[in-house]
Each structure stands twice: as C-alpha cells, then as structure tokens.
Amino acid sequence: MRSLALLAFCAALAGCGDARSQGGGEARTVESRPPNASSQHPAFAGQTRAPGAARSVYRTQTLASGLDSPWSLAFLPDGRMLVTERPGRLNLISADGKARVQIAGLPAVEARGQGGLLDVALSPDFAATGQIYWCYAEKGPGGSGTAAARGRLVLDGPPRVEAVQVVFRQTPKLASSLHYGCRFAFPKAREGGDGTFFLTLGERSILEGRRQAQRLDGTLGKVVRLNLDGSIPRTNPFIGREGVRPEIWSYGHRNLQSAAIDPSGRLWTVEHGARGGDELNRPEAGKDYGWPTISYGTEYSGRPIGEGLTAKSGMEQPVYYWDPVIAPSGLAFYTGDLFAGWKGDAFVGSLGQTHLARLVIKGGQVVAEERLLSELGRRIRDVRQGPDGALYVLTDDGGEIIRISPG
C-alpha cells in the first residue's frame, strides 16, 4: 500500500485529523518473505499466503493518543468507549475521543510481562442489567493465571463498577508472565445472546504450561464456554467426563488473543505461533487443535517444534496460517454498511508486522488477504466495529484510538 505525504506527516505527529490511503490493483500475494519452516507445506490449497485482495480506499482519523498499553475497546450504546490499559485502568472515553475518565471498582491485576487488565466486553443483556465483563492476569498460589469478572457499570456520578463477581479462574496458576490469552466472544450478541460466552486462555508459554495444552484436567491452552454467571452449560462437550474440566470447549491452543462470532453465529479465534504458525481457527466443541504436537513454523531458536509435525490424526488443521508470523491480536467481522465491499470479511490486528489484516472468507476458507494501515507503522492490538459502521483500532505502541472510514 502506498503512503501519501499527508498520511506520513499525520502518522509522525500521531493524531492530526484525517488522512487518506489507497492502493492499486491486486497483488500476487501479500507475503513476500520466505517462511521460517521452508520444508513445511500447507495441508490444502489456500491454507496460507492467500492472493492479495483488491486494495481498499479509506481514511484514518486519530481520535485519542497517549494511552498506556491499551488492550481492548468496547462501545457503549451511546457511542462512548470502554478502553482497558494493561497496567490496570479501565477508561470511559467520549465518542470523539476528547474526554477520558477512569472507572473505579476493578479488582487488582498482575500487571507484569504480558499480564494486566486485558479484554473488556458488554454483556449481551447490558441494556437491562448494565453488566460488563473483563479479563485480567490474577496473582495467586503458584504464580498467576487468567481470570474473568463481571460487574454493573454505573455512570450516575463518578464512573464505577459495582457488585463485582469473579466468574472464572484459570487453573493451574503458573510462575509465568506470558501467554494469558484473554478474549471474550458472546454468541448471538446482537440478538440478546444465548446466555453463554467463550473465553480464550493461553498456555502460559513455559514448558510446564505447554505440556498441559492438550491435557483435559486443567484450562491452560483452552477455549472455555461458560454461562453468564460463570456456571457450566449443560451442553458443553465434556460434561460428565471424569477428570476433565467441564468448562472446556476446545483444546490444544497456544496463545489466543483474538476471538469473535461471525455473522452466521460461529466462533473464530486467532492464536500466536512461535517462529511461524500463527493460526486462524474455527474452534468446535471437544476438538483438539494440536499445540504443541502439530504446528506450522519453528521454535524461536529455529529448531523444530517437537517432532516438527504439521498434521496428525485426531487433531484439527487451522483454517489459515501465517509463516512468518504477523503476531495477531484482536478480531472483528465486518457487518456494517459504510464499506459495502467488506461485508463478512474478518479483520485481525498485527503487532509484529504493524498492519490490520483484512481476510476475505468464502465457504469457510480465506480466499484473499489485504494489509491495511501498514503506512502508519503501528502495532495493532485490537479492532472493533463501531455503532457508526466504521472500524476502530487500538495501537499498542502509540496508545491511540484510530477510526477507519471510507476514503
């Protein structure tokens, strides 16, 4: 994507109004670098290095900057935003980004390494209950782990949350400050929800956690499914299995920092690989997604991961993977009307390659990929569709909220 002079100037200043970006024709592929695992091959056509999509024309506007490691954004019905900062602050920010106030009442977080205050989301019944959910790194016996809580957001007077309830704690806690995962997805949220939610959980990176990603007696490297109050849905896949955690939905995951429900109501996730092997998955009940037995890519040292396998019977293949990695965080499916050509497309933030990936999905497969915002050079931590139909992203390094609208 080509940068315009104004866009580069605005990017340097980190927030001087609007900037416009456009591109030319389709690229042969969006990835020109050689893979780290050059001897590995995709399991099916289109599983990696999709053709480039026709370039989009869009405008960017920096609404706010100076946030400290912002991690997640959620929109209130009136257009105001809830934005988490990893050190432990939850902010209420005006729709135009100009006013910001901290929300009181959250429990303490373990703000160390990759830990801290992470995802935030409105309950599907927010209009009736005022409930919001957040997940965070929690300190405890043995180290730390991912926890999820909910509370009633009160905006009458100083903003605060009340009646806070911890609805989930990852087990076991480990002496690691890495790979917390921590994204929510609420099925059928636009229609009031089905009374459940999904939560993604990393395997904490260290060898002890990695070994447990495919074990079913703990919740490391898992997607879990819970009722809104934290109880276990009766329709979960491992209900009644002795020695198996009943909240588990799927397993064999590494570090999932992206989760969303598509327009058809299906759960999708994106997880970090090591040196190669970022994965887009569609987790289904009771299935094993392979980590660490199978993976595309290599260890950070360049050595094979385990036996270097990319496939094994009984383990699921990713819908799509990246090698080299993009370091993904945040996922949203576009359902708005501002960008007619984006309907149904998935958008994934890239921390490592500093862009927003647009994935064109047809028949459950990625058929094209476009990389937006590369000209800004920002680490994209989260992406959300706003109530106005625009896309909004959080930047990890600039601490910005950037609005993307048609050019």
- Determine whether 355 is an active site residue: no
Name the residue among 143, 292, 271 with its Cα closest to residue 200.
Answer: 271
Nearest to 277 by CA among 245, 309, 313: 309
Q: Which one is catalytic: 41, 179, 272, 355?
A: 179
CB 7 within 8 A of CB 298: no
Q: What is the largest CA-CA distance in the chain?
A: 63
With CA atoms as reference, report the closest residue to 376 among 97, 85, 16.
16
Alpha-carbon distance values, 5 to 60, 87, 402 (Å)? 14, 35, 18
- Asked if residue 137 lies in contact with residue 146, where contact means CB atoms within 8 angstroms, the answer is yes
Query: What is the strand order of the sheet 391-395 is part of?
Result: 18-21, 58-64, 401-406, 391-395, 380-385
Active site residues: 179
